[in-house]
Amino acid sequence: AAKLSPEKLLCQLRDRVNVTMIQGSDGPFDTSEWQQYLPGKSLNETVGRLGRCAVVSSAGSLKSSHLGQEIDSHDAVLRFNGAPTKGFQEDVGQKTTIRLVNSQLVTVEEQQFLREALYNTGILIVWDPAPYHAEIHEWYRKPDYNFFESYKAYRSTHPEQPFYILNPKMQWQLWDILQENSMEHIQPNPPSSGMLGIVIMMTLCDEVDVYEFLPSKRQTDICHYYQKFHDRACTMGAYHPLLFEKNLVKHINQGTDEDIYTHGKVTLPGFRNVHC
């Protein structure tokens, strides 16, 4: 049971979650060294004004969904981490406008990240778990995963591909709203890439359709649609407050329960269509 009405919750998200990318004018990044790596254009300038957008979770329940065409009919599509389209078009589509990756992938799986063609399409955004409400300087000194060198290496080999670093403030602004609207105490771990991606698209688009974040009738213990690995924690959450994220998204859904059941689909308004 959430505490605020869906309308009030949308206003809180719109007004309190600041979705920004690290810029050359930000704290420790305001050096000539960093200027050459950070993209010159803002994310807004790069994507322009987007109409209908799709966010595609990596859940195993996308398998056999046949949602590919519907997903590709959107103006922009956001995907996560190493989620592929090749070989899975029928279920997840082939368009990738933005790919949100976590710093663990960029660091621990650096070799794949620097080599695999799947990362070379669309706009990349990387995020890293920061200490609770830490200043950018503090986070920069002790990131969860030190992805900065790998970021620079990628930028050097793909200078034309927009690649942003998500301002870490966003994760805790969002976490505070999750906590305030939950009856239980939530562990202070940042939201999942899924939840961050949803809010990023709400800032860029008129309307956002999210697929298989709230599981459909195809719900399964299979973690990802592209792997055979079974783990219930992928859908329910372990480190990330995934269950609380899903309750919140269910609460602000403007689509029908039928759409969730059959398509795993939730429809959310873009913030420019939220009037407070």
**Where along the sequence are the contacts to ligand NCC (CB under 6 A)?**
57-60, 80-82, 102, 104-105, 192-194, 213, 223-224, 234-235, 239-240
Q: Which is nearer to ligand NCC, 14 or 224 (CB)?
A: 224
Query: Minimal distance in Å, beta carbon 49 to ligand NCC?
Result: 26
Measured from the CB atom, the residue of 23 and 95 that comes closer to ligand NCC is 95
Q: How far is the CB of 7 from ligand NCC (least distance, A)?
A: 24
Of residues 47 and 126, the one with the C-beta less far from ligand NCC: 126
Alpha-carbon distance 244 to 265, whole Å?
18
Nearer to ligand NCC by C-beta: 132 or 239? Answer: 239
Residue type, 142: K
Residue nearer to ligand NCC on the CB measure, 7 or 221: 221
What is the nearest approach in angstroms of ligand NCC to the Cβ of residue 266? 11
Q: How many residues does the chain have?
A: 276
- Residues 6 or more apart whose CB falls under 8 angstroms from that of 216 comprise 61, 65, 260, 261, 262, 263, 264, 265
- The residue (of 225 and 271) whose beta carbon lies closer to ligand NCC is 225
Q: Are strands 163-165 and 50-56 parallel, antiparallel or unpaired?
A: unpaired
The CB-of-276 to ligand NCC minimum distance in angstroms stands at 26
**How far, in Å, CA of 91 to CA of 65, rounded?**
5
Task: Note every long-range contact of 38-47, with CB atoms under 8 Å and residues 24 or more positions apart, other chains counting.
Answer: 38/165, 39/162, 39/163, 39/164, 41/162, 43/123, 43/125, 43/162, 43/164, 43/204, 44/204, 46/123, 46/162, 47/76, 47/97, 47/98, 47/123, 47/204
CA–CA gap between residue 190 and residue 263 (Å, rounded): 27
Question: Judged by CB, which is closer to ligand NCC: 39, or 264?
Answer: 264
CA-wise closest residue to 250 among 195, 196, 201: 195
Token pair recorded at residue 21: 């990318």
Query: Taking CB positions, which residue lies at the least distance from ligand NCC?
Result: 194
Pairing mode of beta strands 265-269, 205-211: antiparallel
Shortest gap between Cβ of 18 and ligand NCC (angstroms)? 20
